[in-house]
Amino acid sequence: MLRIPAMLVPALLLSGAACAQDFNDKAPNAAGQTPAFEGQTRAPEAQGAVRLDTEVVVDGLDHPWGMDPLPDGSWLVTERSGALRMVAADGTLSDPITGLPDLDARGQGGLLDVLVAPDFEQSRRIWLSYAAPAGEGRNQTGVATATLSQDGRSLENLKEIFRQQPAWASDKHFGSRLVLDRDGMLFVTLGERSDPEPRATAQNDDNHIGKLVRIGPDGAPAGAGTEGWLPETWSKGHRNVQSAALDGQGRLWIVEMGPQGGDELNQPQAGLNYGWPIITYGEDYDGTPIGEGITAQEGLEQPVYYWDPVIAPSGMVIYDGEMFPEWQGDMLVGGLVAKALVRLDIEGDRVAGEGRYLEGIGRVRDVEQAADGSLMLLTDADNGQMIRVTRAD
């Protein structure tokens, strides 16, 4: 079938029921915007012939947000309302692990990501990200490291190693995926706290608002080293980043939660500016332009790919397992609004195709890869689930 790029089709035609079911045929929110290069949005559908099976490992989780596997096949899972639990390989759910930092669990805040150290068997070390209370209704994204007790019931040696500066009285846009790079440095994705006042400071160099930061395992600054920037800052001009993963070359990729019609894939380079809120695709939730409504400007980076309408990304892996060899090197991104697993077929650092799987499974908050190459998903709900995804054939 000849596929006409949807950008070129008048919006009236797109409202026809015949095309409404295909994600690539939905009308964009921000009509009239033009991609900066071919293939920057609406890549051809890349569904492939892979058939998937799902199995609910655990349900009854209260808005689970992050997870990471332990060496013995069990998983650590966070619940945003403030619990860290262990899920055994057989699906047995532990009581909440004690010894967490203080949390501000309002709105999008609470306990967020969890990361297990590569040397966990020796060190028992983990990192957590969370919304940290800062007094007078304010809060800020925090990161702490701790060791898990031998019986797995409590955190010990808890030490806070980072707080986003400054704090704001907002319950939105905390970031905060944690990724350890091959130098043992910790990337912490952040947000711009959503409100107009902090958003307007996302381009300022004297704060962590709208920044991607990089720190040592105990919090020592390890940023880009750009003159005038805070020493932790790696890149700037980000809106709210809840998806991040390393690729096979050890490079960080992120998927940003954009405005209505402006989710972005970026490969953030040290010292560069990713534009928010000066340039962006999409529009504000009330349909008005963001800033001057421009999508490109000299000195500001273009996303590798963008979505209009959005998927609302949260959590991703870059697949390198054996169970789905045809997906190796591809990005598997959780979609909160898409309510699906979104696959980006990557060729030469560009998106060659996009596929949607398990549509209707729920708001996918996190995606991880298990040791056997199966996938694990978390769904964001009062009755959230941890779901194992395997090959059906």
Residue 121: enclosing H or E segment and its boundaries? helix 120-123
Long-range contacts of 274-278 (CB under 8 A, 24+ apart): 274/235, 274/236, 274/237, 274/238, 274/300, 274/301, 274/303, 275/237, 275/300, 275/301, 276/192, 276/202, 276/210, 276/237, 276/238, 276/239, 277/192, 277/199, 277/200, 277/202, 277/203, 277/239, 278/203, 278/237
Question: In angstroms, rounded to a whole number, what is the distance separating the alpha carbons of residues 113 and 365?
Answer: 11
With CA atoms as reference, report the closest residue to 293 among 301, 305, 283.
283
Rounded to the nearest 10°, the torsion over CA 282, 288, 290, 295 is 40
Give the residue nearest to Ca ion (CB): 275
Contact 84, 111 (CB under 8 A): yes
Question: In angstroms, rounded to a whole number, what is the distance separating the alpha carbons of residues 295 and 42?
Answer: 16
Residue of 63, 173, 208, 238 with catalytic role: 173
Smallest gap, in angstroms, from Cβ of residue 177 to Ca ion? Answer: 17
DSSP secondary structure letter of residue 24: G
The beta strand positions in 134-173, using DSSP E, are: 139-148, 155-163
Question: In angstroms, rounded to a whole number, what is the distance separating the alpha carbons of residues 13 and 369?
Answer: 40
Q: What is the largest CA-CA distance in the chain?
A: 62
Between 114 and 290, whose beta carbon lies closer to Ca ion? 290
Smallest gap, in angstroms, from Cβ of residue 117 to Ca ion? Answer: 31
Smallest gap, in angstroms, from Cβ of residue 237 to Ca ion? Answer: 6
Residues that bind Ca ion (CB under 5 A): 274-275
Smallest gap, in angstroms, from Cβ of residue 259 to Ca ion? Answer: 10
Between 125 and 251, whose beta carbon lies closer to Ca ion? 251
Question: In angstroms, rounded to a whole number, what is the distance separating the alpha carbons of residues 108 and 130?
Answer: 10
Q: Retrieve residue 202's tokens.
A: 């996302």
**208 an active-site residue?**
no
Question: In angstroms, rounded to a whole number, what is the distance separating the alpha carbons of residues 7 and 106?
Answer: 38
Burial pattern 317-346, b for ≥16 Cβ within 10 A else e, equals bbbebebbeebeebbbbbbbbbbbbbbbbb
Smallest gap, in angstroms, from Cβ of residue 280 to Ca ion? Answer: 6
- The residue whose two tokens read 């071919």 is 38
Smallest gap, in angstroms, from Cβ of residue 295 to Ca ion? Answer: 9
With CA atoms as reference, report the closest residue to 316 among 344, 290, 293.
344
Smallest gap, in angstroms, from Cβ of residue 158 to Ca ion? Answer: 35
Between 275 and 384, whose beta carbon lies closer to Ca ion? 275
Between 176 and 235, whose beta carbon lies closer to Ca ion? 235
Between 255 and 331, whose beta carbon lies closer to Ca ion? 255
Question: In angstroms, rounded to a whole number, what is the distance separating the alpha carbons of residues 371 and 362?
Answer: 24
Smallest gap, in angstroms, from Cβ of residue 233 to Ca ion? Answer: 16
Residues annotated as catalytic are 173
